[in-house]
Structure 1
């Protein structure tokens, strides 16, 4: 039996099937493409569903892959056993209507026994109990004895998923030896113990499962096999578990080194090491495929794994960040097989670092609260945490409920899952009720609920700015009405409209609705319950009534301004993906006539150079006068066209695709320009972070951009007028002004020093003797604290021995300073105590060292008294 590393096994498998005329394909990303049934790819065949169903033509009828997979169904058991993991690699060969049992069964035996050189006497196979055909091939064509061919039932050896293609399975097992067995007399293939390890499952799709429960033969049979790469490496390397094979062990060893622990001693240490090892592999792979941490979907899976690994790191005593560092070992082991790991390694490190730090902040707050809750439970003799407590941790403090459950279990406690679910439902109900209480205009939404469900408005505003319509419903002053009069606040429903209702981040249109008897000024257009389009506004003339014919006139100036900003968001996303990378995805947007706001996934603040690149690129698209074409087509046609869809957005069978000269192709239902040049220009106003891994750009276009430039120009002209220069010479003139200012400042300092010297002479003339110590106590005008200190140093030099006390100020601010030479300090003089007493007289405080102290006060009228107090304190100190 060959002793091969994981990377060697992978290459051997793919090369073997290439020799059998299979096309080798790279692993598909972990994020499913055009498959909403899965959050993450969990098997080798999952990315190929379209090939099996016939929706897409495969690149070859024979394909071989090594597919990255994530399975989280047993996440709670990861770490607790050496068998469970969330990330694994699945080797597979696939036949789409080409070869079948007679080929794949002998090939699989050839690979296992001849290429991997696993002894035949260590191998067993299972077949579906009714699949005698496969049994005969194993025995007659391959030569396996009948007693090594085990028949199992439908639950074990028949692949079926509802109606549709299905078929029997045949699996290959490796006998690890009696030492791994359970000592049961019935122990054999299929036993739950660790002796017989299944490592290769051959799914032989040959039937169609009908609605009535019967099976009919498929016109085209298929083969879908799956071999766990890590399991095969476990067998070949003669180790106990997947955590001991070379690539996984390298990560495991990196964990132990970072934590300064030894693996293999059992207990909680081994559990934590396994959790971190597995989860850091999963998170690294997921991040490389564009998954970002979030609170839902696949982003939540990533966040949960990363945070679980981070917590177990703390249980091992690891200080500071460590996950990004450990991901380097994953990249080192698997980077050749998966180049995206190397290409995106800096991005991976950043995402993991940001998320890990974010979690620690959450943990610090939540752990303290959980600790207190658990202590209260212990004191009360309670072992099950009430639902309201666990929900408070989750809802208020963002503490993962899975983490709460694990920590409780470690302390011999548990979480009341049913009570937690009740709290969660109540919270959702409250949120739903809160949303239902008001609309854009503040009216009770229940008013809209009272409208007939049959009411429908046809939107025709993509290419029309005026339409004839009929008023089909009317709400006046928050009540359903037949009529509305001048000054009434209204919501008008029409049978058709050219007004765009707010959705997809684009604000609603403004318009005028005119009837024979009145006029409504529409200040917003919204969608309410049932997708009804409502025109919100005020009756500004006469009266309007249900059933009246009306003319809807769109505010085209505002619509055009909004369209400029909306089209610019599409161009902006293209530029961001070009400059920053394809990890950039739209995370939200808001466009109105004044500006656009675009949120996108990115992990660090953009540099000035990057912002400039993006701005130049978008303006380049605008100046290229690219045609903007919007078409409705099937979702499949849109995918074929390469249209980008918003993550998590729900689309129907028919979608609208906006194509901007091939530069940007997106699914979008909003209003757009007809060519990019109509945007005029594009200017970024700000860029900042709004959440971990999410940045926001605000920008302007068209007339707003022109106004911005005009304002900037006016300000420049105003500055030039003050500087008496021209814009092109403004920089050099400013440099000149600053240089002149610097020279003036130097001259001023010299003058102040000279004035201080003169003041020093005046102060010296007023020196007094107190207890044999020379004392200079004087009020000085217009000197700040620094100037006062400079003057004090000059006076100290002049007197050679003594104490200087200076005070100055005006109004509510007083500065005081005291200095003492070293010889008088030895006599008992303490400048800090002197200044403290003096400052108290002026309503202030302060202190300092024996030889120098400063203080502040609030009442300048008390300066003379403060100086006298200072003399008094000096006299007491030298007695």
Structure 2
């Protein structure tokens, strides 16, 4: 059926391909742009072309770009207009057609009959807006038959587009669809943007903007090198209009997720607003989370990982609030995969990893909810102890921000406990936090790095890399760049970027750091410190002139440091060995999440839930070294991407590959990966691989580190020397060291337990004296004393409990203040008889707490905490005596 969303995006692409555009696949949601957590607009991958920094390989293009925007994440579900994930269909012109072409192409697709490949919108329901002074755009619309009364002029805030930072910008013309009077008032987009829904924005990108904030408070620096077109059509908005439903949540790619949520929770969508918000949160976030994980994002505590973690946790909490009693993420990501895979097949091929990451985060969050519930219960006890009826905004915020406990659950559980929550105070603290985050993000935004100085050389074509076949190459100096400026010559002692026509030095990529080496000629010598790529094809040698001078046009010798390259190839090939071993030991779900290798060392990140056992680590090391000992040949060849994938070659996740790829094969089926790095000729040349250990680098991501080659040997030699030293000290053979150490550890544990028993006995021996010295205050016996120096909180609690028990049924209060390492731990305990007289442990803390700069709390029978001022102990004891006297009277 035509109105399926997949068909809407297909028709868009076909329309522009027929018009001569090159179809460009969606970029990953993650791009190397310091301004963006995620790709949030269709034109992001084309920014260098718009700025004139690179020459595009096509004059016109079309794409459907996956996008994520999370600025309004808290509003998702509350309204039906907010989404975190969306698809932006666009067509782009780089100095080719301009306003007329963009307008005519858009109008044609929207209004063309369905039978002819269009969308079949009624032209009478379409409105357009143009920028205030854009007479040209208005005339084009009039010529297409749009009456003047359906064309509105709007200011810079509405009809002038930029990315919010210095970069390309320009006036725009937006197309709106009139949904009818039942959705709002008459008057066009200026009057009501719910009734008149924007579906397509045509940006006439002709200028470059400067610094400034907001949509209309920035300087126009001047024209771009060429006039360009950037358009964005919201696929989801067009879908719900063509499918005849009220909003995006009713469309074919989101409503089935809500249906699944209804099955899992027993609730129904459309019954009440609060539940509907939760259903929409689940539908939106499940799709966004799956798309982010598919592009290599893993849950974490900052940046992209934190956004994903929030999305996943909002799904889980919404499902629980709807009544789900068991884990839900596996079923949600499965239905998302089924729905979205026709357009994004990676959701199907990589489903197991997506499922593992999402389920792992759900499991962790359910534990967080359990911990948060305990903290919530303690908060409730403190409120009730003081006779309060409301949980403070600060406590609610602490539960949310520090422990990840959702405010929704705090509100619900507080109501069940008969308490209120200072929700206004909580919202104020949340608003302050969001404002700080927004200001921090804005302060880190800056203009796109100016790469125009390299454009001439990027346009010449890629640097010829000779390093697969030789370590020394003759080359010509094409350009010298110092401090961002092109210079004709560089002298001894000067740092300079050198651009050569060809080079044997490897530029950093794929986890392998750049080669070190030299550039020489006659009396000239430069030390090459680093090699980086510009636009993935231009080698830039970051160097220091050590002697002589280098001039543009010089003929030079570029040479790799042989020892460096030997170690680098060992590290990189060793990474492939460890990757293959991981998949043998753990299975195919141990998917690469990143790597770094350098001479003698490698680290490898992979998706996995839970710590590896010692046996697994040993197996990984053994399988790797078996492959080294097998002396497998290392073969490399170039083929097309589809053939490489059919052969089973592993790809680095999140990496964009061209049509042709280089495959590195080690031992046939043992290891086959897409890789542009340098490698050994045979696996035996890697040398021994020693796994140093593994650790967590984020939720669902583990890291293995290892030494290879000579570094591995040197590490093992140090370990052997260390073992020999321990064996000598213990006077046993090396092979008996583990058993001997185990014996010593057990003896130490026994000694520590005996010492603890002695210590406890000594503490309890004081209990009788405290009872004998008890003061009678009114009807209560009071022990208010400073404990011996060095007695910690645990021993204080034991002692106080023992003293309280010795008073039997007679009303008694015990207050003990310690002095340990400059801190003042304290315990207050009140027996049942004293509680019946109105004395509560938590209340008494307030009497002496200020004297010792301390805080604490607890239940009526016991409270504890700590202070920071031991000098205040005498005053604190006097204060608590006075308070007990007041209450006991």
Q: Which bracket does the TM-score occupy, shorter chain normalised?
A: 0.5 to 0.7
Q: Distance in 2 between matches of 1:15 and 1:73?
A: 32
Paired residue for 2:394, among 382, 386, 392?
Answer: 386
Q: Is the 8 A contact 1:351 1:693 kept in 2?
A: yes
Aligned to 2:369: 363
Paired residue for 1:147, among 146, 149, 160?
Answer: 149
CA deviation after TM superposition for structure 1 residue 701, in Å: 4.4
CA deviation after TM superposition for structure 1 residue 692, in Å: 3.8
User: What is the TM-score when the length of structure 1 is the normalising length?
Assistant: 0.54
Q: Distance in 1 between matches of 2:232 and 2:34?
A: 22
- The secondary structure found in structure 2 opposite 1:151 is strand
Q: From the superposition, tell whether residues 612 and 221 of structure 1 become closer, same or farther in structure 2 (CA, over 3 Å).
A: farther
Q: Is the 8 A contact 1:28 1:47 kept in 2?
A: yes
Q: Is the 8 A contact 2:49 2:55 kept in 1?
A: yes
Aligned to 1:7: 6
Aligned to 2:276: 270
Aligned to 2:764: none
Residues 44-68 of structure 1, C-alpha deviation per residue, up to 9 Å, x if partnerless?
Answer: 1122222222333334221111111
Q: Is the 8 A contact 1:66 1:89 kept in 2?
A: yes
CA deviation after TM superposition for structure 1 residue 266, in Å: 2.5
Q: Is the 8 A contact 1:43 1:69 kept in 2?
A: yes
Alignment of 1:693-704 (within 5 A): 693-697=700-704, 699=706, 701-702=708-709
- The secondary structure found in structure 2 opposite 1:386 is helix
Aligned to 1:329: 335
Q: From the superposition, tell whether residues 12 and 577 of structure 1 become closer, same or farther in structure 2 (CA, over 3 Å).
A: farther
* 1:171 lines up with 2:174 in the alignment: yes
Paired residue for 2:84, among 78, 81, 86?
Answer: 86
Q: Distance in 1 between matches of 2:694 and 2:44?
A: 39
Q: Is the 8 A contact 1:408 1:415 kept in 2?
A: no
Q: From the superposition, tell whether residues 16 and 94 of structure 1 become closer, same or farther in structure 2 (CA, over 3 Å).
A: same
Alignment of 1:234-245 (within 5 A): 234-245=240-251
Q: From the superposition, tell whether residues 104 and 560 of structure 1 become closer, same or farther in structure 2 (CA, over 3 Å).
A: closer
Q: From the superposition, tell whether residues 374 and 175 of structure 1 become closer, same or farther in structure 2 (CA, over 3 Å).
A: farther
Q: Distance in 1 between matches of 2:58 and 2:435?
A: 49
Q: From the superposition, tell whether residues 15 and 581 of structure 1 become closer, same or farther in structure 2 (CA, over 3 Å).
A: farther
Q: Distance in 2 between matches of 1:226 and 1:582?
A: 38
Q: Is the 8 A contact 2:204 2:229 kept in 1?
A: yes
Gaps of 5+ in 1: 426-462, 464-504, 507-558, 627-643, 648-658, 713-879
CA deviation after TM superposition for structure 1 residue 83, in Å: 1.4
Aligned to 1:196: 196
Residues 654-694 of structure 1, C-alpha deviation per residue, up to 9 Å, x if partnerless?
Answer: xxxxx9999998999xxx99998665222558768786423
Q: From the superposition, tell whether residues 707 and 645 of structure 1 become closer, same or farther in structure 2 (CA, over 3 Å).
A: closer
Residues 183-203 of structure 1, C-alpha deviation per residue, up to 9 Å, x if partnerless?
Answer: 5xx743133452110111111
CA deviation after TM superposition for structure 1 residue 235, in Å: 0.8
Q: Is the 8 A contact 1:172 1:198 kept in 2?
A: yes
Q: Distance in 1 between matches of 2:703 and 2:604?
A: 6
Paired residue for 1:138, among 123, 134, 141?
Answer: 141
Q: Distance in 2 between matches of 1:20 and 1:618?
A: 55
* 1:16 lines up with 2:20 in the alignment: no
Q: Is the 8 A contact 2:2 2:8 kept in 1?
A: no
Q: From the superposition, tell whether residues 698 and 269 of structure 1 become closer, same or farther in structure 2 (CA, over 3 Å).
A: same
Aligned to 2:122: 119
Aligned to 2:869: none
- The secondary structure found in structure 1 opposite 2:325 is coil
Q: Distance in 2 between matches of 1:149 and 1:10?
A: 27
Q: Is the 8 A contact 1:68 1:89 kept in 2?
A: yes
CA deviation after TM superposition for structure 1 residue 367, in Å: 2.6
Aligned to 2:852: none
CA deviation after TM superposition for structure 1 residue 111, in Å: 0.7
- The secondary structure found in structure 1 opposite 2:253 is helix
Q: From the superposition, tell whether residues 673 and 589 of structure 1 become closer, same or farther in structure 2 (CA, over 3 Å).
A: closer
Q: Distance in 1 between matches of 2:676 and 2:340?
A: 34
* 1:249 lines up with 2:255 in the alignment: yes
User: What is the TM-score when the length of structure 2 is the normalising length?
Assistant: 0.53
Q: Distance in 1 between matches of 2:597 and 2:410?
A: 35
Alignment of 1:608-623 (within 5 A): 614-616=624-626
Q: Distance in 1 between matches of 2:414 and 2:65?
A: 36
Paired residue for 2:233, among 227, 232, 240?
Answer: 227
Q: From the superposition, tell whether residues 4 and 613 of structure 1 become closer, same or farther in structure 2 (CA, over 3 Å).
A: farther
Q: Is the 8 A contact 2:168 2:224 kept in 1?
A: yes
Q: Is the 8 A contact 1:177 1:195 kept in 2?
A: yes
Residues 441-466 of structure 1, C-alpha deviation per residue, up to 9 Å, x if partnerless?
Answer: xxxxxxxxxxxxxxxxxxxxxx9xxx
Alignment of 1:401-480 (within 5 A): 413=423, 414-415=425-426
Q: Is the 8 A contact 1:251 1:330 kept in 2?
A: yes
- The secondary structure found in structure 1 opposite 2:153 is strand
Q: From the superposition, tell whether residues 400 and 39 of structure 1 become closer, same or farther in structure 2 (CA, over 3 Å).
A: farther
Q: From the superposition, tell whether residues 147 and 323 of structure 1 become closer, same or farther in structure 2 (CA, over 3 Å).
A: same
Q: Distance in 2 between matches of 1:288 and 1:133?
A: 43
Q: Distance in 2 between matches of 1:338 and 1:298?
A: 21
Q: Is the 8 A contact 2:583 2:590 kept in 1?
A: yes
- The secondary structure found in structure 2 opposite 1:291 is coil
Q: How many residues align?
A: 542
Aligned to 1:553: none
CA deviation after TM superposition for structure 1 residue 394, in Å: 4.4
Residues 155-211 of structure 1, C-alpha deviation per residue, up to 9 Å, x if partnerless?
Answer: 100113444432111011111111111x5xx74313345211011111111223467
Q: Is the 8 A contact 1:91 1:228 kept in 2?
A: yes
Q: Is the 8 A contact 1:571 1:621 kept in 2?
A: no
Aligned to 1:54: 52
Q: From the superposition, tell whether residues 97 and 19 of structure 1 become closer, same or farther in structure 2 (CA, over 3 Å).
A: same
Aligned to 1:68: 66
Q: Is the 8 A contact 2:604 2:705 kept in 1?
A: yes
Residues 238-265 of structure 1, C-alpha deviation per residue, up to 9 Å, x if partnerless?
Answer: 1111000111112221111222221111
Q: Is the 8 A contact 1:276 1:309 kept in 2?
A: yes
CA deviation after TM superposition for structure 1 residue 327, in Å: 1.3
Aligned to 2:593: 585
Aligned to 2:350: 344
Q: Distance in 1 between matches of 2:634 and 2:392?
A: 66
* 1:205 lines up with 2:216 in the alignment: no
Q: Is the 8 A contact 1:7 1:337 kept in 2?
A: yes
CA deviation after TM superposition for structure 1 residue 122, in Å: 0.8
Aligned to 1:484: none
- The secondary structure found in structure 2 opposite 1:247 is coil
CA deviation after TM superposition for structure 1 residue 358, in Å: 0.7
Q: Distance in 2 between matches of 1:424 and 1:65?
A: 34
Q: Is the 8 A contact 2:329 2:358 kept in 1?
A: yes
CA RMSD of aligned residues (A): 4.8
- The secondary structure found in structure 1 opposite 2:232 is strand
Aligned to 2:103: 105
Gaps of 5+ in 2: 113-117, 212-217, 437-470, 472-510, 513-563, 637-650, 655-663, 667-671, 721-889
Aligned to 2:858: none
Structure scoring higher RCO (CA < 8 A, sep ≥ 6) equals 2
Aligned to 2:33: 35
- The secondary structure found in structure 2 opposite 1:213 is strand
Q: Is the 8 A contact 2:269 2:279 kept in 1?
A: yes
Residues 78-112 of structure 1, C-alpha deviation per residue, up to 9 Å, x if partnerless?
Answer: 11111111111111111111111111101111111
Aligned to 1:602: 608
CA deviation after TM superposition for structure 1 residue 341, in Å: 0.5
Paired residue for 2:264, among 258, 267, 285?
Answer: 258
CA deviation after TM superposition for structure 1 residue 296, in Å: 1.1
Q: Distance in 1 between matches of 2:392 and 2:62?
A: 50
Aligned to 2:315: 309
Q: From the superposition, tell whether residues 106 and 215 of structure 1 become closer, same or farther in structure 2 (CA, over 3 Å).
A: same
Q: Distance in 2 between matches of 1:130 and 1:407?
A: 57
